[in-house]
Amino acid sequence: MSVLQRNHLMIIQEVAREGSLTAAGARLNLTQPALSHAVRKIEMQLGVKIWRREGRSLILTQAGQWLLSLANRLLPQFSLAEERLEQFANGERGTLRIGMECHPCYQWLLNVVSPYLERWPKVDVDVRQKFQFGGIGAILSNEIDILVTPDPLYKPGLNFTPVFDYELVLVVGSGHRLYGVDRVTPEQLADETLITYPVPSERLDIYTQFLQPAGIAPRQQKQIETTDIMLVMVAHGRGVAALPRWLVDEYASRFDLHSVRLGENGIAKQIFLGRRETDADVQYLTDFIGFAADPKD
């Protein structure tokens, strides 16, 4: 059974380009006798005449012309494939799949992704949020490469890196009774409508670190998916929300809002980026984590 090989196509292409075995051999780093032997061997292996000799020149047969056309199409693709594979192996090319477990982190992520893409022009970024608070399973099953979360769940084979510190604060509108105060107690939220993202209360820090330890629950809870609508509702006195202070500052020019510290000492949080330990040698992935921790680097 004849097997067409890449080196067959390379020889056919070079002989056709140069018109003689001597010139083609020089380009292929082969002596004229070695190339002549290779030509005969190719015809024997493929079971078809590829060249006919006219004087000192080799002319392609009909089968040879077809193989030349094939070589001109396939050989550049082989070269490109090898280049791409080398880039993948060196961590220079790929798609960085980021899973979000943090609704308000999108604004922070935008500030990181834009300059990162300039540094890595051959890397794409795909941001996914379908793993809402199930990101650990997604990263362990290789559905995503990086997990953005404020609440890392340490598992064997995973590594979490803190990249951004922030404070969780209460956000109130300009007409709210708490507008202008420095800090709030859990009891002061007992009669409030608390606007949150559509997340179970056991995964919301305003509950787990502030209200529940004091045995307090808000009068009502409303769930809203988008930060913009949430802040519009807060600005118009429809409730209060707990958000990162940096995010409230980002929206300060659009809405008349006030940040209030939660409790005497506040609630300090961090954004973590999780990755698989086996991806430690993927350069564009590890560089994203390092760049997120220090964008000025």
Class of the CATH domain delimited by 92-162+269-291: alpha beta
Amino acid letter, 37:
H
> What's the pLDDT at 259?
95
pLDDT at 15 over 60: yes
Domain with CATH 3.40.190.10 in the chain: 92-162+269-291, 164-267
Amino acid letter, 159:
N
Residue whose pair of structure tokens reads 């404020």 in the numeric block: 150
Burial class (CB in 10 A: 0-12, 13-18, 19+), 44: exposed
What is the C-alpha to C-alpha distance for residues 82 and 93, in angstroms, rounded to an integer? Answer: 12
Residue whose pair of structure tokens reads 């680097």 in the numeric block: 297
> What's the pLDDT at 198?
87
**Arithmetic mean of pLDDT, 80-97:** 70
Residues of the chain with pLDDT > 70: what percent?
93
pLDDT at 132 over 60: no
CATH level 3 topology of 164-267: D-Maltodextrin-Binding Protein; domain 2 (3.40.190)
Confidence of residue 84 (pLDDT cuts 50, 70, 90): low
Coil, strand, or helix at residue 123? strand
pTM of the model: 0.66
What is the C-alpha to C-alpha distance for residues 134 and 131, in angstroms, rounded to an integer? Answer: 5
| Cα distance from N-terminal residue to C-terminal residue, the chain | 58
What is the C-alpha to C-alpha distance for residues 109 and 104, in angstroms, rounded to an integer? Answer: 9
Comparing 66 with 28, the larger pLDDT belongs to 66
Residue whose pair of structure tokens reads 């980021």 in the numeric block: 98
Class of the CATH domain delimited by 4-85: mainly alpha
Domain with CATH 1.10.10.10 in the chain: 4-85
For all residues of the chain together, what is the average pLDDT? Answer: 87
CA distances from 99 to 136, 139, 210, 218, 247 (A): 10, 8, 27, 30, 20
**Arithmetic mean of pLDDT, 153-158:** 90
Confidence of residue 159 (pLDDT cuts 50, 70, 90): very high
> What's the pLDDT at 257?
94
